[in-house]
Structure 1
Amino acid sequence: MSVGDRVRDVLARLANASATERILISTAALLLSIFVGAVLVLVAGRMTACTPNEAVYYFGTGFCYDPILVFDRLFLGALGDPLSGGWSPDGQFSVTLRETTLLIFAGLSVALAFRAGIFNIGTQGQMVVGALATAVAVLWGATLVSGVLGTVVLVPFGILVGAVFGGLYGAIPGFLKAYADANEVITTIMLNFIATGVTLYLVSGVFKDPESAANQTVPLPEYAQFPTVLFGGRQDFSLVALFFGLLAIAGLYYLLEHTAFGYDVRTSGIQPEAAEYSGVDAPRTVVASLTLSGALGGVAGAMYVMMILGTFQTGVPSYGFDGITVSILAGNNPLGVGIAALLFGVLKSGTTVVQFATDVPPQLVGVLRGLIILFVAMPEFFRLVGKRITDTGSRAVATDGGRPEPAAGSSGTSGDDGGESDE
């Protein structure tokens, strides 16, 4: 067996791995990344000067950085130290859940497009557009209703506005790809820059808060933001928003796995030629997929405005790009997006804790976070590659009702069909 055949066999086995096997592989990859990261921390600690009292000792040798403390702060610190006693949901745990909530919507946005075989790199731009539209619309709606009724009306209204405008912005590259054969990677990346530039122009002029030196809209009233449940009002997190995220996970999973539209999306992503042959309207599927993907990105923008900032401000963090990593970690599975978003949220939140609780340089902390993401994502990445090879690269598209082509030199008859030839 040649090297190429061995590689193809390994990829095929990885592509057909069960859910249990994939969980075990990802867990092993996570543990391996922690081990490699610990070695890097020890090596960096040997290259750094510190006093004997500041050093920690392993294998009879002093090190300036303690890998156990670093990973303790990275993971347990992000969860608010649940093992320390007197745990409270406020504090760093709320930061972790806040990051997780936004990453759920960003990850679902990317995962939906990827399942359709479309590389949507524009979730960030769709999020920005949805965020500004939400801020402006909710500010207008706040002049009509207030109090508890205002919360009940304006929060769903803001989510709807973010979804509509994010979806419309996502539909642009969808139409360009479906009817002009434009590369969606290029168009979505360019639309990210356009969204940033246009919103900057609008928020520094037409929609600018006259009482603020920053480029931002007028702050939303308290009743027009997500209500806090169990968490303090200053934590910038709401369980209601997380509940919406869990509903989005369940809804998208049902849509992809149990509806005709989901079947069209999945078959288009796996075998575009076979999907078209079976009657799938490819242009419509492309436009619909990118529209729904953009809508999820727009909801992430609405969450950012109504849960975290309470206004729209330029310089929206790169949740859209983080969503690409979340989607890959999840294998583009909506159910996996929730777990991947939590892991990524823990890493983002824990990074801050490590920087404050240890003397480890922030550059090294960034390397550790990237290392964990890389190790956990690579098995899923190779699994997706294996699925593409085994599903599309090694099998021709059937155009004869599913019967295989006769082998070269054969008479076109089958030994068990009574000698009848293919019609």
Structure 2
Amino acid sequence: MNKKNPLVTLLGNEKWQWLSIPIFAVLLSILAGSIVILLMGKNPLTAYLSILQGAGWIPKANYAGGTGMLTDFTSFLDALAPMIFAALAVTVGFRAGLFNIGIAGQMLLAGFFATLFVGYSDLPWYLAKPLVILIAITVGGLAAGFVGYLKHRFNISEVVSTIMLNYMIAYVTSYYIKTYFVNPVSRQSEYIQPAASLTLKNLRIAGIRVDLPIGIFLAILAALFVYYLLYKTRLGFEIKAVGANKQAAEYAGISIGRTIVIAMMISGALAGLAGATFYLGHYASMQPGVLAGLGYNAIATSLLGNNHPLGVLLASALITTLDKGATYMSSRVGVVQEISGVITSLILLFSATGTYIRYRISRKRQEQKEKQEQNHPEGGEEA
């Protein structure tokens, strides 16, 4: 009687590998992170619990006046929204075989134009908020679509062009912010009008102060939209076909150039929404000359989510939890805040081995099948 490897059984279902393998990688990284924390002489369980407390998943021992667990959780959701948008932007690009490393620049450009035209206006909220979203989608889509056009028309690497555009966007926006609407005290742009903000600041719910992000609802809808686009539509099939094999896709009659430009425009539109929720939501201002690190973290987050829209939701929640809980872990347990970055790096390191894990699981399954055929050459039943 052949004994089945439980790990192969658990991870071998190809239908669920988009979820099971990243979870397995996360568990390995948590174990590795625990060893690092133990070497520092701290309790890993206490450290991980403090991260969850800092992100608002579980209650703290005490809170400052007017705040509570809901305050921390809505702050977590406020930071989660742009991460989801940015990681989805990376995912769409990856599926088309494109590496959109310009997410940070597209975020900044979309946030800049939305701030410039709406953020400082006197428009009522029912006009200002939809306009912020519309401008962000348009600007982000056009910026990334230009990169897609350069890729198609002149075969210019999207990595090179997006890196160059990132710097150009950072310098040009920095000039205008410092020249026209910089705050002399904070040295950042002036705060936007509350009517244009995608985060409802300083609300009171059951006497507890919260910042309620509108963007989190939009981000979840965007993830469902990208899932439907990639797996239920002809355009999604064409995007994945071009990403898998351009020659085969062209032979099948798919327009490579059109698909590349459209995929990059969708990616840029999502990056624009990330910029809107980041600059006109989470922070409500812009720091001149600085590209948001979130734009680069989104690349790793998408990889952790196995480039699957639903996996991106879970991966974004995990990475944002580690980021938001790091400060409280540092003050509560005495573990330096940078350890959360180490744990995040370990998660991404293990998740990067997903292809290798999938290969090893496939080999093990094949070996089990071959042994079964040797033991029962005529297809007889096992004893």
TM range (shorter): 0.7 to 0.9
| Matched pairs, number | 346
Q: 1:221 aligns with which of 193, 200, 204?
A: 193
The DSSP-based 3-state class of the residue aligned with 1:81 is coil
- Work out whether 1:99 is the aligned partner of 2:79: yes
1:77, 1:350 within 8 Å by CA — same for their partners in 2?
yes
The DSSP-based 3-state class of the residue aligned with 1:238 is strand
Worse overlay, 232-241 or 252-261 = 232-241
Worse overlay, 28-37 or 170-179 = 28-37
- Work out whether 1:335 is the aligned partner of 2:307: no
Aligned AA (1:329): L
Partner residue in 2 for 1:208: 181
Worse overlay, 152-161 or 305-314 = 305-314
Structure 1 residues 330 and 28 mapped into 2: Cα distance closer, same or farther (>3 Å)?
closer
Structure 1 residue 269 displacement after superposition:
0.8
Larger Rg: 1
- Alpha-carbon RMSD across the aligned residues, in angstroms, is 2.9
Distance in 1, matches of 2:359 and 2:106, equals 27
Identity of aligned residues (%): 29
Aligned AA (1:30): V
Structure 1 residue 320 displacement after superposition:
0.9
- Work out whether 1:73 is the aligned partner of 2:69: no
- What does 1:194-343 align with in structure 2 at a 5 Å threshold? 194-205=168-179, 207-209=180-182, 212-226=184-198, 228=200, 232=204, 237-314=211-288, 315-343=290-318
- After superposition, the C-alpha distances for 1:196-222 in whole angstroms (9 at most, x for unaligned) are 1111111111x324x534444443222
Partner residue in 2 for 1:160: 134
- After superposition, the C-alpha distances for 1:203-257 in whole angstroms (9 at most, x for unaligned) are 111x324x53444444322222135399559978434211111111111111222
Distance in 2, matches of 1:384 and 1:155, equals 44
Distance in 2, matches of 1:14 and 1:121, equals 34
Structure 1 residue 336 displacement after superposition:
1.4
Aligned AA (1:41): I
Structure 2: any 5+ residue segments left out of the alignment? 1-8, 361-383
- Work out whether 1:38 is the aligned partner of 2:34: yes
Distance in 2, matches of 1:226 and 1:191, equals 26
Structure 1 residue 35 displacement after superposition:
2.0
Structure 1 residue 379 displacement after superposition:
4.4
Structure with higher helix content:
2
The DSSP-based 3-state class of the residue aligned with 2:70 is coil
The DSSP-based 3-state class of the residue aligned with 2:292 is coil
Distance in 1, matches of 2:357 and 2:163, equals 26
- After superposition, the C-alpha distances for 1:118-157 in whole angstroms (9 at most, x for unaligned) are 01111011001011011001146x33x3xxxx11111111
Q: What TM-score do the two structures reach when normalised by structure 2? A: 0.81
1:94, 1:231 within 8 Å by CA — same for their partners in 2?
no
Dislocated runs of 4+, deviation >6 Å: 13-16, 83-87, 233-236, 383-386
Structure 1: any 5+ residue segments left out of the alignment? 1-12, 46-64, 387-423
1:331, 1:384 within 8 Å by CA — same for their partners in 2?
no
Partner residue in 2 for 1:114: 94
Structure 1 residue 330 displacement after superposition:
1.2
The DSSP-based 3-state class of the residue aligned with 2:334 is coil
- What does 1:8-19 align with in structure 2 at a 5 Å threshold? 17-19=13-15
